């Protein structure tokens, strides 16, 4: 039977929206947003799209009009009643009322601020300016829109069955990964793949396949909308943008050196348990840990997001030991460029030493590598970052010089202040 109403509904769409909800975003964005809303609501920031994969000519691939339609659509979104009820009433990490009433009231009235879009050669310049708690919510939907419009541009040229077989191949690949992961004892893995996903529907499929295929080993998704609709845990804590903006706001070198700890002091006051996860690599993991106050060693765990993950995990283990903590009680969350082989290797290497868990991103939700001519669907390294705060440029160093960003003079200054020496470069896959 043809569902005529659905068909009519579909063909009257002006666009097929990519982002359908303000909570089609990462959970940690909302946690951080609440923290910023409380602690730094007046900060003026600029976020900017950065395509680290210059060989992908985004402006040639994606029609500017379509891009504007998608971004305009996002600006028309507001929190629905059900979404609001879920955020207010759901248990996150075992805690009720994670989101405070004043934050929720603000969020319920929010529309995303304007964007600035301009074509520059074969790339787009896409920036967002305004108050930090508003602008920061652009990051994930902006990335998702660009990734999916690029997918759509490639898929547009394909036949109906060719398309179905492409997805058949993609599904088979995801399922084979899940089958391989199933063999790992005591695995703990979550979907972190919202930002650079192939598409919304595809991420939703991947999450459901993980649910069926991995059972309890699948701990949840970073995507709030999918967590809500599929009734899985929303996962995430905090990200580089907090120390980056705090650092940019620092008045002098002493304040700069203190900034990353100020971030975590604010976080410490607001959260406990599994939400107390250190992200130590913004200005070099080693120095960050060496200079950290003792109360940080009491936190639940650490997230490893750049550099050689085994080195970073071992650094954390040594640090906990030096502070009299038992590393086997600590959690290490690996979240950088993971795929099955790497997950297996890290799991084996750290089994019994720490509680390892995995935030699996782009190679879960966007692995169509090798499935179309010219590898035109291969994921690429697109980010959307805070580049300025109250007029000052932001800087990120990370444990991989290939992921560093900011003006060179500021990078040099940060390296000096944070005592960052030689770093081993790692290829950035996604």
What does the binding site for its own copies look like in residue numbers (CB under 8 A)?
1, 3, 5-6, 9, 159-162, 164-165, 167-169, 171-172, 175, 208-209, 212-213
Nearest to 21 by CA among 68, 86, 65, 67: 86
Q: Which two tokens stand for residue 189?
A: 């893995």
How many degrees, rounded to 5, is the angle at CA 179 between CA 175 and CA 181?
Answer: 115
Sheet strands side by side (includes 218-221): 218-221, 189-191, 355-360, 331-334, 301-304, 277-278
Residues 279, 335 contacting (CB under 8 angstroms): no
Q: How far is the CB of 164 from its own copies (least distance, A)?
A: 6
Choice between 54 and 182, CB closer to its own copies = 182
Q: How far is the CB of 232 from its own copies (least distance, A)?
A: 14
The dihedral formed by the CA atoms of 148, 151, 152 and 157, expressed in degrees to the nearest 10 = 180
Choice between 54 and 157, CB closer to its own copies = 157
Choice between 169 and 268, CB closer to its own copies = 169
Instruction: Output phi, psi for 49, to 5 deg.
Output: -75, 135
Nearest to 285 by CA among 258, 260, 322: 260
Residues 83, 94 contacting (CB under 8 angstroms): no
Choice between 106 and 175, CB closer to its own copies = 175
Choice between 159 and 324, CB closer to its own copies = 159
Q: How far is the CB of 5 from its own copies (least distance, A)?
A: 6
Q: Which two tokens stand for residue 341?
A: 């082989």
Q: How far is the CB of 159 from its own copies (least distance, A)?
A: 5
Choice between 211 and 314, CB closer to its own copies = 211
C-alpha to C-alpha distance for 116 and 68, rounded to whole angstroms: 10
Say which residue the tokens 């730094």 belong to: 40
- Give the list of residues 6+ apart from residue 279 with CB closer than 8 angstroms, or none: 237, 238, 239, 240, 243, 302, 303, 305
Q: How far is the CB of 172 from its own copies (least distance, A)?
A: 5
Choice between 8 and 408, CB closer to its own copies = 8
C-alpha to C-alpha distance for 46 and 336, rounded to whole angstroms: 25
C-alpha distances in Å from residue 339, one per residue of 41, 178, 180, 336, 361: 37, 11, 11, 9, 9
Choice between 9 and 295, CB closer to its own copies = 9
Q: How far is the CB of 86 from its own copies (least distance, A)?
A: 21
Q: What is the DSSP letter of 394?
A: P
Residues 420, 427 contacting (CB under 8 angstroms): no
Q: How far is the CB of 21 from its own copies (least distance, A)?
A: 18
Say how many C-beta atoms besides its own lie within 10 A of residue 320's C-beta. Answer: 22
Q: How far is the CB of 132 from its own copies (least distance, A)?
A: 39
Nearest to 77 by CA among 145, 149, 127: 145
Q: How far is the CB of 196 from its own copies (least distance, A)?
A: 22
Q: How far is the CB of 360 from its own copies (least distance, A)?
A: 17
Choice between 165 and 424, CB closer to its own copies = 165
Choice between 56 and 363, CB closer to its own copies = 363
C-alpha distances in Å from residue 240, one per residue of 110, 244, 285, 305: 24, 6, 12, 10
Q: How far is the CB of 155 from its own copies (least distance, A)?
A: 15
Q: Which two tokens stand for residue 166?
A: 């492409």
Choice between 213 and 401, CB closer to its own copies = 213
Residues 406, 414 contacting (CB under 8 angstroms): yes
């Amino acid at each position: 039977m043809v569902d005529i109403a659905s068909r009519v509904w579909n063909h009257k769409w002006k666009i097929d929206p990519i982002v359908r909800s303000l909570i089609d975003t990462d959970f940690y964005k909302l946690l951080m947003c609440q923290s910023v809303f409380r602690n730094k609501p007046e900060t003026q920031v600029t976020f900017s799209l950065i395509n680290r994969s210059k060989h992908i000519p985004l402006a040639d691939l994606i029609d500017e009009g379509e891009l504007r339609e998608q971004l305009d659509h996002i600006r028309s979104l507001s929190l629905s009643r059900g979404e609001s009820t879920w955020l207010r009433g759901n248990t996150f990490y075992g805690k009720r009322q994670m989101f405070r009433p004043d934050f929720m009231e603000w969020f319920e009235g929010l529309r995303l601020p304007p964007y600035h879009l301009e074509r520059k050669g074969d790339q787009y310049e896409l920036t967002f300016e305004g108050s930090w708690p508003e602008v920061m919510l652009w990051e994930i939907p902006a990335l998702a829109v660009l990734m999916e419009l690029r997918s759509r541009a490639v898929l547009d040229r394909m036949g109906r069955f060719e398309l179905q077989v492409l997805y058949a191949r993609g599904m088979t690949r995801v399922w084979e990964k899940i089958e391989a992961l199933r063999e790992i004892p005591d695995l703990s893995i979550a979907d972190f793949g919202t930002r650079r996903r192939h598409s919304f529907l595809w991420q939703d499929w991947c999450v459901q396949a993980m649910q069926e295929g991995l059972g309890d080993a699948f701990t949840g998704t970073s995507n709030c909308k999918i967590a809500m609709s599929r009734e899985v845990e929303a996962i995430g804590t905090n990200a580089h943008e907090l120390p980056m903006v705090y650092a940019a706001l620092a008045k002098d070198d002493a304040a700069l050196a203190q900034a990353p700890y100020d971030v975590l002091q604010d976080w410490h006051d607001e959260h406990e348990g599994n939400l107390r996860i250190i992200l130590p690599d913004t200005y070099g993991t080693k120095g960050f840990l060496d200079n950290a106050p003792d109360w940080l060693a009491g936190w639940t765990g650490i997230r490893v997001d750049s550099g050689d993950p085994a080195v970073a995990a071992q650094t954390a283990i040594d640090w906990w030991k030096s502070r009299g903590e038992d590393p086997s009680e600590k959690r290490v969350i690996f979240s950088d460029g993971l795929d099955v082989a790497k997950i297996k290797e890290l799991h084996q290497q750290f089994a019994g030493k720490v509680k390892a868990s995995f935030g699996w991103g782009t190679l879960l939700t966007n692995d169509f590598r090798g499935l179309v001519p010219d590898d035109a669907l291969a994921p690429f390294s697109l980010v959307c970052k805070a580049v300025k705060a109250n007029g000052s440029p932001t800087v990120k160093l990370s444990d991989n010089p290939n992921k560093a960003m900011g003006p060179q003079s500021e990078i040099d200054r940060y390296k000096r202040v944070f005592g960052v020496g030689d770093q081993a470069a790692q290829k950035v896959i996604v």
